[in-house]
């Protein structure tokens, strides 16, 4: 991290999945880096998953615009990579409609960072956020 680079931290929680996740978003000269760890039960066993993602652009949509992307899902515990077409429509400065296959959720985001603060009515919620 460079001296003037800002890091954004977020802690998500999902009661339905008994899962929590901490992530760090950092912007660099060549794009964004998201790294984190998710902890959740897998059957009766505790599970710890670490990840790191680097991207060179964000959608940058204006309110009312829509775009599709092809995302890569890494399934666990198989670790196979699956392509997933996803649609995003910007509803407001802090709201998006997310559609992929059978999933159709509204996302509430932090307008400054784009980090998701809530996903669906009762799925993921941000429990804490901070920047430094």
For residue 82, tell me if it sits in a domain.
yes
For residue 2, tell me if it sits in a domain.
no
Q: Is the pLDDT of residue 1 over 80?
A: no
For residue 127, tell me if it sits in a domain.
yes
Give CA 79 to chain center in angstroms: 19
Question: Which pairs with CB-CB distance under 8 Å and at least 24 residues apart come from 116-123?
Answer: 116/12, 122/15, 122/16, 123/14, 123/16
Tens-place pLDDT, residues 95-131:
999 999 999 999 999 998 889 999 988 788 999 999 8
Cβ distance 12 to 117 under 8 Å?
no
For residue 1, tell me if it sits in a domain.
no
Number of domains in the chain: 1
For residue 89, tell me if it sits in a domain.
yes
Give the C-alpha separation, 28 to 43, whole Å. Answer: 38
Residue 111: give the domain boundaries. 7-131
For residue 46, tell me if it sits in a domain.
yes
Phi, psi at 70, each rounded to 5°: -110, 115
Tens-place pLDDT, residues 32-90:
999 999 999 999 999 999 999 998 888 889 999 999 999 998 888 899 999 999 999 99
pTM: 0.84
């Amino acid at each position: 991290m460079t001296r003037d680079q800002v890091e954004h931290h977020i802690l998500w929680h999902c009661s339905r999945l008994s899962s929590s996740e901490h992530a760090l978003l950092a912007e660099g000269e060549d794009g964004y880096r998201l790294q984190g760890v998710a902890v959740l039960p897998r059957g009766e066993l505790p599970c710890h998953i670490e990840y790191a993602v680097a991207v060179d652009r964000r959608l940058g949509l204006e309110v009312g615009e829509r775009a599709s992307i092809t995302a890569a899902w890494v399934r666990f515990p198989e670790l196979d990579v699956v392509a997933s077409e996803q649609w995003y429509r910007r509803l407001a400065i802090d709201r998006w409609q997310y559609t992929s296959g059978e999933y159709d959720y509204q996302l509430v985001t932090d307008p400054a960072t784009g980090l998701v603060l809530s996903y669906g009515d009762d799925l993921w919620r941000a429990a804490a956020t901070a920047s430094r």
